[in-house]
Structure 1
Amino acid sequence: MSDKRVASITPPNKAYPREELEEMMERWLKANIDAEKAGDWTTHLGPMYTEDAVYGWNIGPNEQFVANGRKEICDVALGYQMKGFEDWEYPYHDIIIDEKRGTVIGFWKQLAPVTATRPDGSRMEIAGIGGSWFEYAGNFQWSWQRDFFDLGNAKALFFELAGAGVLEPVVKEKIHKQARGVLLPGHYKLHEEPGRLQKIRNTAALVKIALTGR
């Protein structure tokens, strides 16, 4: 697969003054808050990426999302991918800065709209660890970003949101396309899927283990 479609697992490293990286994060956190208030991530976050930046995240064992370049990041990662999530919040709760390598890791939560609550009154959110790993490029811009989150918990929450009838129509359409095997913009397969017969064998083997312990 072309390397343009695959986000590198580790970014190149370059040292920067810690004060500059701390200011970058202050600007980034403010831009995120402004984006959430406006429901517009492209306008507020787009300028904070270099022209050739790469932004990606994994979606299970055989699929990942990658946006190459600021335009694609704005159009797809911050644009299309965020459609239907305008009322969600993504507050950061911890940040690690490594000025010797020019990298930052920020840990955030994914909170569904305040109207999405459970019977006990608690707000729905994706459990587990979520965050972003950044490479700084100077000039208060990122050249590389890779998000991480608990995919199993994300799927579980979407089942819950669907059952509560609070999914936005555009999100339902995305789920419908994925269920039909359509790759959403920016999504790429990592390798060939196993054939139907192999999938049946794999499923049968796991069922046997679950039932017999062997």
Structure 2
Amino acid sequence: MGDKRVVSITPPNRSWPRAELEEMVERWLQGNIDCEKAGDWTGLAQFYTENAVYSWNIGPNEEFVASGRAEIRDVAIGYQMKGFEAWEYPYHDIIIDEKRGTVVGFWKQRAPYQRPDGSYYEIAGIGGSWFEYGGNWQWQWQRDFFDLGNAKDCFFQLAGAGVLSPVVKEKIHQQAKGRLLPGHRRLHPEPSRLQKLRNTIAIARIALTGR
């Protein structure tokens, strides 16, 4: 069944000076730029508290969670970023709430590969990160969000163009076998094959007949 730990993001209850949060954001953005240039994201580990939690959702029954700075370094921005060293993740908007000590940053996920028309492959929709500041220029937790449907579509396009890296291909292969990648866990038991078949038949009937 995998790890059953539940992600619990506690409501922020501490305010911080606006200037301190603004400087934290500037340090974070520069850290992202530096790591992107280096092709190694593990340098961002310095921006998390020792007991920080970094998570994101991967559909209705799968969650990624890294607990603690070491796991964030080794899994969230280590293993998870393998195969994406040349990708770009530029931030295009930042919202700071000093009363709650939170920051929301919106970013893009842009592949280094171009289509025949010269445009770059990019995951459409909205993507971003929600942070709580923990003091000392570190995040207490981070929760990412992105458009899963558009992400899948982008990877289908990249696969068709033959530009997926071997590391990414292997990750997709393991997931296709039903194996959980490091840091991933199920939110609840998987439905039986019979239930999945019933669900498929039910949705097909609705699509075909409207009932």
TM tier, shorter chain?
over 0.9
Q: Tell me, yes or no, if structure 1 residue 55 matches structure 2 residue 54.
A: yes
CA distance in 2, matches of 1:83, 1:8: 27
The CA deviation string for residues 54-110 of structure 1, in whole angstroms up to 9 with x for no partner, is: 000000000000000000000000100000000000000000000000000000000
CA distance in 2, matches of 1:11, 1:147: 16
Partner of 1:72: 71
SS at match of 1:184: coil
CA distance in 1, matches of 2:2, 2:164: 35
Partner of 1:24: 24
Q: Tell me, yes or no, if structure 1 residue 213 matches structure 2 residue 206.
A: no
Residue 187 to residue 30, structure 1, CA distance change in 2 (3 Å): same
The amino acid that maps onto 1:136 is Y
More strand by share: 2
The CA deviation string for residues 100-145 of structure 1, in whole angstroms up to 9 with x for no partner, is: 00000000000001xx122322110000000000000010000100
Given that 2:3 and 2:186 are in contact with CA atoms closer than 8 Å, whether structure 1 keeps it comes out as no
Which residues of 2 match residues 103-142 of structure 1 at below 5 A? Answer: 103-113=102-112, 116-142=113-139
User: TM-score, length-normalised on structure 1?
Assistant: 0.95
Partner of 1:35: 35
Residue 103 to residue 17, structure 1, CA distance change in 2 (3 Å): same
CA distance in 2, matches of 1:56, 1:88: 20
The amino acid that maps onto 1:68 is S
CA distance in 2, matches of 1:119, 1:8: 44
CA distance in 1, matches of 2:6, 2:12: 15
User: TM-score, length-normalised on structure 2?
Assistant: 0.97
Given that 2:4 and 2:187 are in contact with CA atoms closer than 8 Å, whether structure 1 keeps it comes out as no
Q: Which runs of 5+ in 2 are unaligned?
A: none
Given that 1:13 and 1:101 are in contact with CA atoms closer than 8 Å, whether structure 2 keeps it comes out as yes
Q: Tell me, yes or no, if structure 1 residue 160 matches structure 2 residue 149.
A: no
CA distance in 1, matches of 2:147, 2:41: 22
Residue 62 to residue 69, structure 1, CA distance change in 2 (3 Å): same
Shift of 1:3: 9.6
The amino acid that maps onto 1:123 is Y
The CA deviation string for residues 153-176 of structure 1, in whole angstroms up to 9 with x for no partner, is: 000000000000100100000000
Shift of 1:11: 4.0
SS at match of 1:47: helix
* Alignment RMSD (CA, Å): 1.5
Partner of 2:200: 203
Residue 86 to residue 173, structure 1, CA distance change in 2 (3 Å): same
CA distance in 2, matches of 1:4, 1:131: 25
Shift of 1:188: 0.5
CA distance in 2, matches of 1:120, 1:212: 40
Shift of 1:2: 10
Q: Which runs of 5+ in 1 are unaligned?
A: none
The percentage of counterpart residues that share the same residue type is 78
The amino acid that maps onto 1:46 is A
